[in-house]
């Protein structure tokens, strides 16, 4: 047992040689060391927990994907607004004006065709006869 006391004295001698510490300070150092050790053990346990690491990685990946989705969505919205602006510039001011313009153009074409047919009835009749013959021939050929 004398050996044991020598080891204890040897371990205690370096701190005794510098300065004796009060028991409260030693207890505070021990408590601080325990807290540091507890944090270290918790960090090691966290690193060793594969399931927790996988969940954390999945969470990080999900967050990155959501951020990318929002970025692409915002870019798409901006592009859509730009295209909508260009379309508005190219189209008439209102749909009603566009409809009226199309209707007027159709009436003009119809009236011109009617006038040409009235002025030249023979070519119009010949074209009608040709179209009728073509249609009848096509129908009879399919039988």
Do 83 and 113 lie in one domain? The reply is no
Task: Give the range of the structural domain holding residue 69, as residue numbers without chain letter.
Answer: 24-91
Question: What's the whole-number average pLDDT of the chain?
Answer: 79
Which pLDDT score is estimated for 7?
42
Which pLDDT score is estimated for 17?
43
Do 73 and 35 lie in one domain? The reply is yes
Q: Which tokens is 143 given?
A: 């039988």
- pTM value is 0.35
Do the domain assignments include residue 72? yes
Residue 1 has pLDDT above 80, yes or no: no
CA distances from 46 to 49, 55, 61, 63 (A): 5, 12, 19, 21
Do the domain assignments include residue 5? no
Give how many domains the chain has, as a whole number: 2
Do 125 and 82 lie in one domain? The reply is no
Do 31 and 77 lie in one domain? The reply is yes
């Amino acid at each position: 047992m004398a050996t044991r006391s020598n080891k204890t004295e040897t371990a205690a001698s370096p701190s005794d040689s510098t300065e004796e510490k009060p028991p409260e300070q030693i207890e505070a150092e021990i408590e601080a060391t325990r807290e540091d050790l507890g944090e270290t053990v918790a960090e090691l346990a966290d690193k060793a927990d594969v399931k927790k690491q996988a969940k954390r990685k999945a969470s990080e990946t999900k967050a990155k994907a959501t951020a990318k989705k929002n970025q692409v969505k915002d870019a798409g919205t901006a592009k859509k607004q730009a295209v909508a602006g260009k379309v508005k510039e190219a189209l008439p001011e209102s749909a009603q004006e566009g409809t009226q313009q199309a209707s007027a153009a159709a009436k003009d074409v119809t009236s011109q065709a009617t006038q040409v047919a009235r002025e030249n009835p023979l070519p119009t009749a010949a074209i009608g006869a040709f179209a009728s013959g073509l249609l009848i021939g096509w129908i009879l050929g399919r039988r």
